[in-house]
Amino acid sequence: MAAPGRRRLAVAVAVPVAAVLALFVGVLATREPAVNRKTDSPLLDQPAPGIRGETLDGQRFDLGDLEGRWVLVNFFASWCVPCIQEHPELKRFSAEHAAAGDAEVVSVVYDNDQENTERFFAREGGDWPVVTDPQGRVALDYGVARVPESFLVDPDGVVRVKITGGVEQAGLDELLAEAGG
Amino acid sequence: MNAAVGSAGVVLGFVSAAGGIVTIALGLLGGRRGMLRQIVPFVALVALGAVVAVAAMERGLITRDFSMAYVADHGSSKTPALYNVATLWSALEGSILLWALVLAGYLAAVTAKFRHRLDDPLVGWALLTMFAVCVFFFGLMLGPANPFHTVAVAPLDGPGPNPLLQNHPLMAVHPPMLYLGYVGFTVPFAFAVAALVTGRVGEGWLVETRRWTLFAWAFLSAGIVLGAWWSYEVLGWGGYWAWDPVENASFLPWLTGTAYLHSVMVQERRGMLRVWNLSLLCATFALTILGTFLTRSGVLDSVHSFSESAIGPLLLGFFALVVFVTVGLIGWRGDRLRAPGRIDSPRSREGSFLANNLLFAAFALVVLLGTVFPLVVEAVNGDRLTVGEPYFNRMTMPIGLALLFLMAVAPALPWRKASAETLAQRLQWPAWAGTGVLVLAVVLGARGVAPLLAFGLGGFAAGAAVRQIVLATRRQGWRGFMGRTNGGMIVHLGVVLIAVAFAASSSYDHQREAALDPGESVEVAGHTITYLGFEEDTSDPAKVERRARVRVDDDGVYEPTLQRFPNGSQEIGTPSVRSSLVDDVYLALLDPPASDGGPVRLRVIVAPLVMWLWIGGGVIVFGSALAAFPGSRRRGTEPTSALVAAGRDTSPVARRPGAARPDQERPERPERPENEPIGVG
Amino acid sequence: MADQPRTAPAARWVPWVLMAVVVAVALAVGSRPADDATEEDRVRAIASTVKCPACSGQSAATSDAPSATAIRAEITRRVRRGESDDEIRGYLAGRFDDILLTPTSSGAGGVVWALPVAAVVMAFAGLAFAFRRWQASSPTTASPADRDLVARARTGGSPADAHGEGDGR
């Protein structure tokens, strides 16, 4: 051919374009639906943000006082259905570890008023500290997007695990064993 | 009953489309041209199948046939008639059904239009392509997107469509418009494929599909603007465009389609850019399919997305098929189709079209990249990141400004080459118009370089468009508005209105959230907003409405509302907007009073010029309609242009194949460089 | 306007120089920041670069979800405390996963910024190169390959169809 450069231009463009598109289709084909994606937190392996405030029964609470023990920081609201579902699991976890003295549960109220929260605990039970967070500062410090969310804080006060959605006692114990081991 | 009839319609459509493919393939490959003429009954049956299926679905919705799964899931006995009909496109399966109906309509229209040329292989391949697309969409309805499933035990009532989809009449018109646009691009795509396969890229088919492309483009534009308007009137956050994946999915084909409508003129006029134009048509169609995949597969998070479903892989497969077939065809044929020729100067009409195409391609690249980038990054290293509104705004702003500038300059450029003097003379008054707008904006208190540039360049571009229209009407009277050249200028005016309104409303809006007791007022950007009282309305069985009565300045009471539909636990807000040509006062009710006579929490947004977005949309549609009429064929020459263009036309490349044939119906004049600016289509 | 009498070349550019001066002055005046920006405007500007953690793709400026409301309240507090925009965004990014709406310019996020810019620069460079080549080659010397292509294009499709348009249009 007299002008090979001209001849081959379309092929020279089409081949790389096809390659890029093949990669692109490959990426799209292997994506999971957006809803199933895991959530990370920049807080992992960082010191847990402090929680200082009042509990439901008017006492002073400071997360620092619990150093030396595992703490499950649980964010919840009485209007949230998965929170109601996870509550018995929390109770079991709390009871089990209160006896052993190695782990504590702390609940933080998320976007909820005192009255409804009190009613929630009266109905569902649970005897661990419930920190009111009237301005949502604690939830913000922990980066809570939607309840329920829970954080496992180790005895040195470092965040080790973030759980979005409801928790289960067995799963919590497993996480505890993993993180502690 | 309805379900059975509907299913029969879908099967009929599928089988007829498949039969159409076989018939055409036999005719084309076996060289039996006579068979190509036998295609009409297949087309009729595909159309019949689609109509029957849609009619069965609408009948099911209207008669509240809850034995149909679609009606049981998305219909309700309480939904008002308008939204009940619109329920057809409020969920995934129904939207595919609407798609199939529109597609069948286009197929029938193309067949009717080309009825005398059915044995032409070019038309044959185009129809074959359209049948193949039909097979895919009817196939979807036989597979994972079957709209005619039945339920074993019919419920007494259904939940109704998503509350957001049944509280504004725009929802009844916006999706059909969008689909007329989306699906319409199938027609030029089919002819592009046919041109590639047959190797015939003369402008004959181009001229004939140009109006189809223009038609699809106008509907897509209208659909996009109406979608923005719907968001504004319904979603309650005071915005109309958020670079959401679903919005981007509709915007991408618009960008490539717009690029095509411009660059096709270079092909018609100079015979160049053929392969590029074919590529743009293929890309436009592929992007409509990609958008459909992105919005219906659940891979992207979006407020508008359909529920996740199994049709994702099929749509992706179809996208891959379209892309690889067309890229393969272009790679195979492209070099033989390329036209010899050159562009004499960047300072020419064709040079400006090239720049225009580069900018539109860059625009599309930014939007596409921003939309899918999170998926790509996650695939590469597992990181999650978000590409949101600020990215799109920052990246597209310079491209948009550059396009406004081109819009101002290009109409004044003659084909081939312009001298600086000509340009300076033709652009002087438009440039003064732009300067005037800029100075006026500064005097009125507008600040910030980017919006000011948008105003100035907008004024410049509008000046250039008005100059063209004035020149044309002076010469031709009222016909000066017609034809694609002058209709195109009207479209430009609409685009300028939208650009200026976008810049103003997004740069100079003011927002307040205020808790107000009854009788209390708040001042926002010079407007006094007074909360008068609250009321609850239970008169409508379909919903409970709680309204705040709010007075804006001294002229009227507005009622931002919270609505609760009996089936949905979610309460949705409906904002209330006082619109004027100057600014909009947008009121959204955030929290109702906790107790009787207590304070409400309101969001008040004051944004200037919002109304001009919708007016601009109307102007675009109007201009597109004018552009569809053939313009004047009168010859006329401006002395200055003739001087510039003279002496160049003897070059052999100007006498290219496929140049204007005298008998060709073309709304343009071979040697009239002035007043023949960018048109649309 | 199109039929203006021809003026001397130098005089023709006078209005343009004047216009450039006017535009430059207007832009200089207009580029000063607006003085009516309120604290709320600044809060909203920051919130609009941050995602609402409980929503899909909406910014914290526009959502009414509790977390978005809390984020706006926190931004307000920090604005009053005199923190800079980046400090506030940094605080939020240290708490929430994937909360910024703009990818950072370092690492993988840089690609999304750089790629379009690189593409545009390369495309315009390619265009400039093409124009130079076109200008260098004289229009009267079409290469044999060009003529070959013209001939082929003329006879492409059916032999009688010089324009490749098919018959019976």
Percent with pLDDT over 90 in chain B: 53
| Type of residue found at B126 | A
Phi, psi (degrees; rounded to nearest 5) at B125: -65, -35
**C interface test, pick of B427, B442, B471, B507 with most C CB neighbours within 10 Å:** B442
Does A37 touch chain B if contact means CB atoms closer than 8 Å? yes
Q: Quick: pLDDT tens for A22-55.
A: 999 998 888 766 544 445 788 888 899 989 888 8
Q: Quick: pLDDT tens for C34-62.
A: 666 678 888 888 998 898 888 777 888 88
| Type of residue found at A19 | A
Place of tokens 């419930």: A130
A:81-120 residues touching chain B, CB 8 A cutoff: none
Q: What distance in Å separates the CA atoms of residue B587 and residue B527, rounded to the nearest whole number?
A: 12
State the smallest CA–CA distance between residue C6 and chain A in angstroms.
45
CB contact under 8 A, B372 and A24: yes
Task: For residue B111, give the nearest of B182, B42, B40 by alpha carbon.
Answer: B40
Q: Is B427 helix (H, G, I), strand (E, B) or coil?
A: helix
Q: Is B556 helix (H, G, I), strand (E, B) or coil?
A: coil
The pLDDT of residue A168 is 83
Could you tell me if B592 and B534 are in contact, meaning their C-beta atoms sit under 8 angstroms apart? yes
* Chain-centroid distance, C-alpha B252: 9
Could you tell me if B621 and B218 are in contact, meaning their C-beta atoms sit under 8 angstroms apart? yes
C:48-107 residues touching chain A, CB 8 A cutoff: 53-54, 56, 65-67, 69-71, 73-74, 92-99
Q: Quick: pLDDT tens for B488-507.
A: 999 999 999 999 999 999 88
| Inside any domain, residue C44 | yes
Place of tokens 């639906």: A33
Place of tokens 């029957």: B52
- In B, minimum Cα distance to A3 occurs at B335
C:2-61 residues touching chain B, CB 8 A cutoff: 2-4, 9, 12-13, 15-16, 19, 22-23, 26-27, 29-34, 38, 40-41, 44, 48-49, 51, 55-59
Q: Quick: pLDDT tens for B248-275.
A: 999 999 999 999 999 998 888 888 888 8
Count how many residues are written for chain A: 181
Q: What distance in Å separates the CA atoms of residue B98 and residue B145, rounded to the nearest whole number?
A: 12
Does A57 touch chain B if contact means CB atoms closer than 8 Å? no
* Chain-centroid distance, C-alpha B55: 26
Q: Quick: pLDDT tens for B599-618.
A: 999 999 999 999 999 999 99
Q: Quick: pLDDT tens for C108-166.
A: 788 899 999 999 999 999 888 888 887 776 555 556 666 777 777 666 544 333 343 33
Angle at B510 between CA B229 and CA C49, to 5 degrees: 80
Domain count, chain C: 2
- In A, minimum Cα distance to C144 occurs at A2
CB contact under 8 A, B303 and C15: no
State the smallest CA–CA distance between residue A97 and chain B in angstroms.
35
Report the CATH number that the domain containing residue C62 is assigned in CATH: 1.10.8.640
Phi, psi (degrees; rounded to nearest 5) at A87: -60, -45
Q: Which two tokens stand for residue B104?
A: 């069948």
- Domain spans, chain B: 1-161, 179-387, 510-608
CB contact under 8 A, A10 and B376: no
Q: Quick: pLDDT tens for A41-98.
A: 888 888 999 898 888 888 899 998 888 889 999 999 888 878 888 899 899 999 888 8
Could you tell me if B18 and B118 are in contact, meaning their C-beta atoms sit under 8 angstroms apart? no
Place of tokens 């060009």: C146
Element (H, E) at B512: strand B510-516
Total Cβ atoms within 10 A of residue B443: 11
Could you tell me if B216 and B180 are in contact, meaning their C-beta atoms sit under 8 angstroms apart? yes
- Domain spans, chain A: 4-29, 45-180
Q: What distance in Å separates the CA atoms of residue B29 and residue A140, rounded to the nearest whole number?
A: 68
Between residues A181 and B329, the one the model is more confident about: B329
Q: What distance in Å separates the CA atoms of residue B352 and residue B678, rounded to the nearest whole number?
A: 10
B271 in the Ramachandran plot: left (φ > 0), alpha (ψ -120 to 50) or beta? left
Q: Which two tokens stand for residue C66?
A: 């509790």
Q: Where are the beta strands (DSSP E) in A50-156?
A: 52-54, 60-62, 70-76, 103-109, 130-131, 149-153
Phi, psi (degrees; rounded to nearest 5) at A72: -100, 110
Instruction: With both helix axes pointing from N to C terminus, report the angle between C14-30 and B420-443 in degrees, rounded to the nearest 10.
Output: 30
| Inside any domain, residue C126 | yes
Q: What distance in Å separates the CA atoms of residue B455 and residue B463, rounded to the nearest whole number?
A: 12
Could you tell me if B613 and B240 are in contact, meaning their C-beta atoms sit under 8 angstroms apart? yes
**A interface test, pick of C88, C89, C96 with most A CB neighbours within 10 Å:** C96
Total Cβ atoms within 10 A of residue B52: 18
Going across the sheet that includes A149-153, the strands are: A130-131, A103-109, A70-76, A149-153, A159-164
Range of the domain at C132: 109-154
DSSP-assigned letter for residue B119: T
Does A30 touch chain B if contact means CB atoms closer than 8 Å? yes
DSSP string, B439-491: HHHHHTT---HHHHHHHHHHHHHHHHHHHHHHHHHHHHGGGGG-HHHHHHHHH
Task: For residue B202, give the nearest of B652, B654, B681, B656 by alpha carbon.
Answer: B656
Does B201 touch chain C if contact means CB atoms closer than 8 Å? yes
CB contact under 8 A, B391 and C101: yes
| Type of residue found at B554 | D
| Type of residue found at B21 | I
Question: Which residues on chain A are in Cβ contact (under 8 Å) with C54?
Answer: 145-146
The pLDDT of residue B639 is 32
Q: What distance in Å separates the CA atoms of residue B549 and residue B561, rounded to the nearest whole number?
A: 9
Q: Are strands B527-537 and B521-524 parallel, antiparallel or unpaired?
A: antiparallel
Residues C51 and C89 reside in one and the same domain:
yes
CB contact under 8 A, C166 and B122: yes
State the smallest CA–CA distance between residue B641 and chain A in angstroms.
33
The mean pLDDT value for B26-43 works out to: 88
The pLDDT of residue C154 is 67
Range among A94-103, A112-121, B52-61 with highest mean pLDDT value: B52-61
**B interface test, pick of C41, C58, C97, C121 with most B CB neighbours within 10 Å:** C58
DSSP string, B249-316: HHHHHHHHHHHHHHHHHHHHHHS--HHHHHHHHHHHHHHHHHHHHHHHSS-S--TTPPPP-THHHHHH
| Inside any domain, residue C6 | no
Three-state secondary structure along C140-161?
A: CCCCHHHHHHHHHHHHCCCCCC
Q: Quick: pLDDT tens for B549-597.
A: 999 998 889 999 988 876 655 678 889 999 999 999 999 998 888 888 8
Q: Could you tell me which residues of chain A have a Cβ less than 8 Å from any Cβ in chain C?
A: 1-3, 6, 34, 39-43, 49, 110-111, 135-137, 139-146
Whole-model pTM: value is 0.86
Does B549 touch chain C if contact means CB atoms closer than 8 Å? no
The mean pLDDT value for B103-126 works out to: 93
The pLDDT of residue B365 is 96
| Inside any domain, residue C114 | yes
Task: For residue A47, give the nearest of A67, A28, A31 by alpha carbon.
Answer: A67
Question: Which residues on chain B are in Cβ contact (under 8 Å) with C167?
Answer: 117, 120
B:592-651 residues touching chain C, CB 8 A cutoff: 638-640, 651
Question: Which residues on chain C are in Cβ contact (under 8 Å) with A110?
Answer: 66
Place of tokens 């702390």: A106
Phi, psi (degrees; rounded to nearest 5) at A11: -65, -45
Q: Which fold has domain A45-180?
A: Glutaredoxin (3.40.30)
Could you tell me if B629 and B471 are in contact, meaning their C-beta atoms sit under 8 angstroms apart? no
Instruction: With both helix axes pointing from N to C terminus, report the angle between B449-476 and B389-409 in degrees, rounded to the nearest 10.
Output: 30
DSSP string, C89-150: HHHHHTTSTT-BSS--SSTTHHHHHHHHHHHHHHHHHHHHHHHHHHHHS-TT---HHHHHHH
